[in-house]
Amino acid sequence: MIKIFRSVCGFFIVIILFSSITISCSIHIIRQLINPSQLKSISTAGKVVKVHMKDGSLFVLDSLITKESSDTINGFGFYYDKYRNMIGFNVTRKGLVNGLPFHIGLSDVALIELNEVEGVKGKALSLALVGVPTLIITSYCLINPKACFGSCPTFYSYDGTDTSLMAEGFSSSILRAFEKEDIDMLYLAKTTGNNFHLRMKNEALETQVIRYADLLVLPRSGNERVFSTSEGEFFKSSCIKSPETCQAPEGSCLDAVLQMDNKERFSSADPKNLAKKETIEMTFENVHGSANGLIIGCRQTLMTTWLFYQSLSYLGNSAGYFAAKVESGDKFLQRKVDRVWDLLGDIEIFMKDHKGKWQKISQVGEMGPIASDVHLIKLPYSDDKNIRIKLQMTKGLWRINYLALAGLEEKVEPITVKPSTVIAVKGANSHEADLLKNPDNPLITLPGDEYDIYYNLPESAENYEIFIKTRGYYIEWMRDTWIAEENLKQAAIFFGFPRLFMKKAAGDFKKIEPSMEESFWNSKYVRKN
Amino acid sequence: MSGKIKSILSILICLIILSGCQNKMIPAGYLPKPKEISRSITGSWIKVATYLDTLKDNKIDLYGELLAFQNDTLYVLTEGGFISLQKNKINSVSLYIFAPTEWAFLGLLFIVPNVIGALSYSDYAQYFLEIGIPIFLVSTIMGAVDSDGANNIMHYPGIYTLEDFTKFARFPQGLPPGLERNKLHLVITEAK
């Protein structure tokens, strides 16, 4: 799981922007002194007017009434003598009129004074624009530190315009016992020449053990894309079709799933049961060819992160013992852990057959709330021109970024490319020459470590579809605040009766759910390098 | 909590305390907030460095309310009474027009929750402090601009002449006729 903080670049842009506003908005007092003869040509509406008399006395007037033909002015306010003793007033301190207006002969007036203040609003706005979000995020993190600071190795690469987050590795491998290989499509990655660069970061309070981080590259041309199934098969496709309709419980979600962009379809968790399911139905019309696959781009919400941290909190000081038991091969405990995640489940894919019945095709799901993964699910051969698909998943657990139908053209085999050079940008392993080259000698990273990984792509093609294949696991660092929440009874319910726990915990989760995602990303260093 | 985090926290706590306790040398009422300046009934507070007739080489600083500037003479009401100063006896003048807004203090108030978070959750101390960095920098820059860029203080000699100070005097029109100097007094109001 991850955790980190605000983008350094974004951070400095904010500082420069608001500093500029600040400097250009310095407070100015504009004081005008006007001869009485000019009074009728200027507007005093809404302004406090000071009338300096020739004898040194002073009227401070909240309102001033002037008449074109008159040689007197009338007003309401306060009257002071030259020694600044108050000698009259016709309004209260609260501005309520309580007497007749002052009649002031223009011939006795020396000067009229008007004041205007500029720049206060600009500065206050600047401070509020930075201060209020800071206050909101901090307040949220004070209430829910576990939701705010939390979670796996992250991979950044060039997307054509900038360096951005592309993938997260083995999010479900929370102990060595759960270590597994993970293949993620770098959907937005762009190659330049035959060199490819990734930056790998440990952005969480965890120790990450990475055995390898190889590329799987597949030559492609034109508008071809290559997608992979969860079984590790790769298929080329140049015919990618968006759904005609996409219906979720809240209404059409078509706009959110048309592109692999920032728009995502997601829902909030059920208020009474975190494991409650929901469905999305979509249709593809005028489908050509009989070999098709469904493409799903998705990531998890922070529900699993929260549940994972909650379980560690409940275990408290026993977390180490629990982890050691699992690591030592205690299958009973391993199954307990698996049961929790199985209850939440993957995204199940159903397809309507020619009899009108929904048939389950497959299921996909990869843990991790940071980067969307792109999955290909092979659909049964069908000559139907219209294909209807249904996704069933836990409510509030998944953020669907992209849905499409791909005509499967050719099965292709990837070329495995191992890192040519690994450089420690921040980390203690800079002296080692064989980083990420020997799985038996894994790279171990600590919070804050960063590594630049360079690959030499084969020269046989100009353009490649790139996937990253990682293997490893990570160990979450226990926080004092988690230990303070130790509650073995709750831990027993969590692992022993997960179905009951999902109902009991729904209320607590719902309290923080609305702001969890925003707070998480605002507190994260997703750096654009 | 690391020593570095402890040091940062100590500095922040000191800054919050100290910035709220800045001693003001100008009497309450003579340094209005910008929004209050249109209701001020006095001249602005002035500091004059002047040469004494008796001690040509010695300078003395006078503080008081600017009453008027006319005929190359500056009239100041000090706590000791009415003083007139010829322009050629004046070395330098600072005129305090309004109280600078304490942006740095306001900014530090915004990060009080961050300090509380860092103290309460030592595991996340670094993160709580990092969240507070933008507001800390912005308010510090604001404070620095206000205290240095300083539209609230006019200085002579420099870009201002003594004539420019006239409009901030109690009597911008000049001393009124029949002014009994012994009746003049500083208008000290209670601090808000």
pLDDT tens-digit profile of A48-105?
889 999 999 999 988 777 766 678 888 888 999 989 888 888 888 777 778 788 888 8
Give span(s): CATH 2.30.30, chain A.
28-118
Residue A16 has what pLDDT?
56
> Does residue A470 or residue A28 have the better pLDDT?
A470
Q: Search chain A and give the residue with CA nearest B109.
A: A131
Buried/exposed A167-197: b ≥16 CB within 10 Å, e otherwise:
bbbbbbbbbebbbeebbbbbbbbebeeeebb
Residue A2 has what pLDDT?
35
Q: What is the pLDDT of residues A394-417, one digit of tens each?
A: 999 999 999 999 999 889 999 999
Residue B170 has what pLDDT?
93
Q: Are residues A134 and B111, on separate chains, in Cβ contact within 8 Å?
A: yes
Of B110, B146, B149, the CB nearest to A131: B110
Q: What element of type H or E holds A341?
A: helix A331-344
Instruction: Enumerate the residues of chain A whose CB falls inside 8 A of the CB of residue B75.
Output: none
* Gap between the Cα atoms of A45 and B143, Å rounded: 33
Residues B92 and B157 in one domain: yes
Of A192-196, A208-212, A341-345, B140-144, which gets the smallest average pLDDT?
B140-144
Q: Search chain A and give the residue with CA nearest B40.
A: A60
The answer to whether A308 touches A178, Cβ cutoff 8 Å, is no
Position B173 pLDDT exceeds 70: yes
Q: Among B126, B50, B88, which residue's Cα sits nearest to residue A525? A: B126
Instruction: State the amino acid at position A304 in one-letter form.
Output: T
Residue B148 has what pLDDT?
54
* Gap between the Cα atoms of A465 and A471, Å rounded: 20
The answer to whether A287 touches A387, Cβ cutoff 8 Å, is yes
> Does residue B140 or residue A424 have the better pLDDT?
A424
Instruction: Enumerate the residues of chain B whose CB falls inside 8 A of the CB of residue A142.
Output: 113, 116-117, 120-121
Please indicate if any CB of chain A lies within 8 Å of the CB of B107. Answer: yes
Of B132, B175, B187, the CB nearest to A84: B187
Q: C-alpha angle with apex A507: A504 to A509, nearest 5 degrees?
A: 100
Position A213 pLDDT exceeds 70: yes
Helices (H), A54-180: 120-143, 145-148
Residues B81 and B136 in one domain: no
Q: Are residues A135 and B132, on separate chains, in Cβ contact within 8 Å?
A: no
Mean pLDDT of A320-348: 82
Residue A395 has what pLDDT?
95
Q: Among A261, A265, A262, A268, which residue's Cα sits nearest to residue A253? A: A265
Q: Compute, in degrees rounded to 10, the torsion defined by CA atoms B153, B157, B158, B162.
A: 70
Residue A431 has what pLDDT?
58
Q: What element of type H or E holds B7?
A: helix B3-19
In chain A, % of residues over pLDDT 90: 30
* Gap between the Cα atoms of A213 and A216, Å rounded: 10
Mean pLDDT of A343-356: 91
Position B92 pLDDT exceeds 50: yes
The answer to whether A103 touches A12, Cβ cutoff 8 Å, is no
Residues B67 and B41 in one domain: yes
In chain B, % of residues over pLDDT 90: 9
Position A524 pLDDT exceeds 70: no
Residues B158 and B141 in one domain: no
Residues B92 and B159 in one domain: yes
The answer to whether A259 touches A240, Cβ cutoff 8 Å, is no
Q: Are residues B107 and A127, on separate chains, in Cβ contact within 8 Å?
A: yes
Is residue A474 very low, low, confident or very high in pLDDT (cuts 50, 70, 90)? Answer: confident
Instruction: Enumerate the residues of chain A whose CB falls inside 8 A of the CB of residue B128.
Output: 138, 141
Mean pLDDT of A428-432: 64
Is residue A362 very low, low, confident or very high in pLDDT (cuts 50, 70, 90)? Answer: very high
- Residue A443 phi, psi dihedral angles, 5° rounding: -85, 125
Residues B80 and B170 in one domain: yes
Residue A17 has what pLDDT?
62
The answer to whether A343 touches A493, Cβ cutoff 8 Å, is no
How are beta strands A464-476 and A180-185 bridged, if at all?
antiparallel
Is residue A335 very low, low, confident or very high in pLDDT (cuts 50, 70, 90)? Answer: confident
Residues B82 and B168 in one domain: yes
Architecture of the domain made up of A28-118: Roll (2.30)
How many domains would you assign to chain B? Answer: 2
Residues B113 and B162 in one domain: no
Q: Which of B4, B65, B101, B127 to mutate to test the interface with A (most CBs of A within 10 A)?
A: B127
Statement: the pTM of the whole predicted model exceeds 0.80: no
Residues B89 and B110 in one domain: no
> Does residue A522 or residue B109 have the better pLDDT?
B109
> Does residue A471 or residue A524 have the better pLDDT?
A471
- Domain with B94 in it: what CATH number? 2.30.30.520
Of A39-43, A334-338, B6-10, B57-61, which gets the smallest average pLDDT?
B6-10
Position A253 pLDDT exceeds 90: yes
Q: Among A438, A440, A431, A371, which residue's Cα sits nearest to residue A399? A: A371
The answer to whether A84 touches B187, Cβ cutoff 8 Å, is yes
Residues B125 and B87 in one domain: no
Q: Search chain B and give the residue with CA nearest A60.
A: B39
> Does residue A151 or residue A32 have the better pLDDT?
A32
Buried/exposed B108-141: b ≥16 CB within 10 Å, e otherwise:
bbbbebbbebbeebbbbbbbbbbbbbbbbbbbbb
Position A128 pLDDT exceeds 70: yes
Residue A5 has what pLDDT?
41
Residues B42 and B87 in one domain: yes
Exposed, middle or buried by CB within 10 Å (0-12, 13-18, 19+), for A383? exposed
Read off the tokens for A69.
């033909």
Residue A527 has what pLDDT?
36
What value does the mean pLDDT of chain A take?
83
Is residue B38 very low, low, confident or very high in pLDDT (cuts 50, 70, 90)? Answer: confident
Enclosing domain of residue B122: 1-23+103-145
Q: Are residues A6 and B131, on separate chains, in Cβ contact within 8 Å?
A: yes
Q: Which of A9, A20, A84 to mutate to test the interface with B (most CBs of B within 10 A)?
A: A84
Mean pLDDT of A135-156: 72
Position B22 pLDDT exceeds 50: no
Please indicate if any CB of chain A lies within 8 Å of the CB of B124. Answer: yes
Of A33-37, A201-205, A495-499, B150-154, which gets the smallest average pLDDT?
B150-154
Position B82 pLDDT exceeds 50: yes
Helices (H), A144-282: 145-148, 254-257
Position A4 pLDDT exceeds 60: no
Residues B39 and B4 in one domain: no
Residue A105: how many CB atoms within 10 A of its CB? 12
Q: Which of A29, A49, A483 to mutate to test the interface with B (most CBs of B within 10 A)?
A: A29
- Share in percent of chain A as helix, strand, coil (round to 5): 25, 35, 35
Write the ipTM.
0.77
Read off the tokens for B137.
């920098």
Measure B80 CA to nearest chain A CA, in Å: 16
Is residue B146 very low, low, confident or very high in pLDDT (cuts 50, 70, 90)? Answer: low
Mean pLDDT of B88-97: 87
Q: C-alpha angle with apex B125: B121 to B127, nearest 5 degrees?
A: 120
First to last CA, chain A: 21
Measure B144 CA to nearest chain A CA, in Å: 10
Please indicate if any CB of chain A lies within 8 Å of the CB of B116. Answer: yes
- Rg of chain A over all Cα atoms, to the nearest angstrom: 33
Residue A514: how many CB atoms within 10 A of its CB? 10
